[in-house]
Structure 1
Amino acid sequence: MTTHPSRRRLLTRGAFLGGALAVPGFLAACSRTEAGTGAPAGDADLLERLRKQGHVRVGFAGEAPYGFQDGGTLAGEAPTLHREIFTALGVPELRPTLTEFGSLVPGLLAGRFDVVSAGMAITPERCAKVAFSEPEFVSPTALMVRRGNPKGLDDLASCAAGKVRVGVLTAAVEAAYAKAAGVPDGSVVTVAKQQDGLDALLAGRIDAFALTGISLRWLARTNRGAAVEVLEPFVPVVDGVKRYSPGGAVFRQGAVSLRRAFDERLAAITGDPARYVRLIGKYGFTEREVPPRTLRTAELCAG
């Protein structure tokens, strides 16, 4: 059986200055647009334009530990890696925009920002609309359940067999994973934010919350004392293919030079596990999350 690792999932309005996020007013979209798309014109020379203006506009959805606000600072896996990479590329400032996860790709295509910094899963469906960097991480799926695991669950197949209600984030790949495992559409409950999933679980509106293991461990960590537990991660299977949930930065398809330069700098980080963990270890990322060199976005996009 073919094994293709595949995953999901950043912003506020403001400016990154020396790693800190100020949160001033709304950032207007670029006025120069491609006819019929709303996207900025001239993406082919986007990297040079970013260098000249000294900042890049990034979109994020407030999902810890991938990209979130921490005391007015944009924090998490993706912003930390992207800050390192863009600084090396001569673009020292990240200007973030906070939006719902489901609005990240539409916002990128409409020119509201230049890159999505949210640890978004690389999937063939998304690849048809946007261009992904090479993977930044891999992270298998897990379930959060009420303490004691009263339904005796261990993966999405057990959720289907037990006819339980499964919570997933809006526009996240876990909905597709649940469907592939046999969970009926009527038993899949979408929530807007991670905290909503935990709250729904405690309130009895869902029996399990499906997300990447690293996200759920972070959620449990920030809700110490909550009567929940995170089960052992598992690898979903969709159409006979294992999905390890790799995520990456997202660009418009015309931003070829920017994406290639980004990938070159990213490879220098993922190729050095000690540096990788030094940068984002505080968000729960370990050498286990370092994407293997053989894992390529082109293959993931092909399905």
Structure 2
Amino acid sequence: MLSNTFHVGGDLGVRRLGFGAMHLPTEPASDREKSAAVARRAVELGVTLIDTAHMYGGGANEELLAEALHPYPEGLLITTKVGVARSPESGEWGLDGRPATLRAQVEQGLRRLRVERIELLQLHRIDPGTPLADQLGTLRELQAEGKIGRIGLSEVTTDELGRAREIIDVSSVQNRYNLLDREHEPVLAVCEAAAIAFLPWRPVAWGALGERAEIAAVAVEAACTPTQVALAWLLGHSPVILPIPGTARIDHLEENLAAADLNLTPTQRDRLNRLSEKPGQAAPS
């Protein structure tokens, strides 16, 4: 049985099943209070990893978490992301990995989260318009200044991850990944070999009718919900996977976190693995 904890960067211990704050609304005031209640309930239930980003409301999501949880309980890791900015002309969000932008967003994140150091800071996307060495070099400088503890990446290929590891120590990777969407299996393999935390975003997704039926059948057998099956599969698939399911409802939060106690049988896992097979392709182990 795999451990329910993981040490990000080799030294920062967290429970593997975390919480993604992206879906928490920050306005109007009534919704904001409900969002704060969800965040507080997550911590009450033992969550020690919460994911947010500058892009989520232009920092409003970071402010919400600080409002709900500061002063933070010991052992709580709030990780945020930088590198996506809103155009002052069009108002559209776009990749922006220029050193000045990254530095400004880190400084804003420190202020909004009310911390002196962001223990895990992730580059939301690699900006193809800015040299990778400049993007990661800026984060490395901020790390040397004590404003960042560990550096992670998001939505990267194996090649991009390899090039990044030549510049910095990569502590985490946050890629799209779930039971039915395993495009980034090669990236996960690299992370597992290097003990890099792998945070799947969109950890629960439903495919074709037949796939949903198979997941539902396993859920009936295990006396749980299909969502819990999908999360339990992730937790059992690799010791470096740290799912961060998000929700704005306490009942869904409680359902998600209960997946940590679900143990799928080897036969059930084999059936679920086969859902990602393509014609002529064996199910990944």
Q: Normalising TM by the smaller chain, what interval?
A: under 0.3
Higher-RCO chain (CA-CA 8 Å, sequence separation at least 6): 1
State the TM-score, normalizing by the size of structure 1.
0.26
More strand by share: 1
State the TM-score, normalizing by the size of structure 2.
0.27
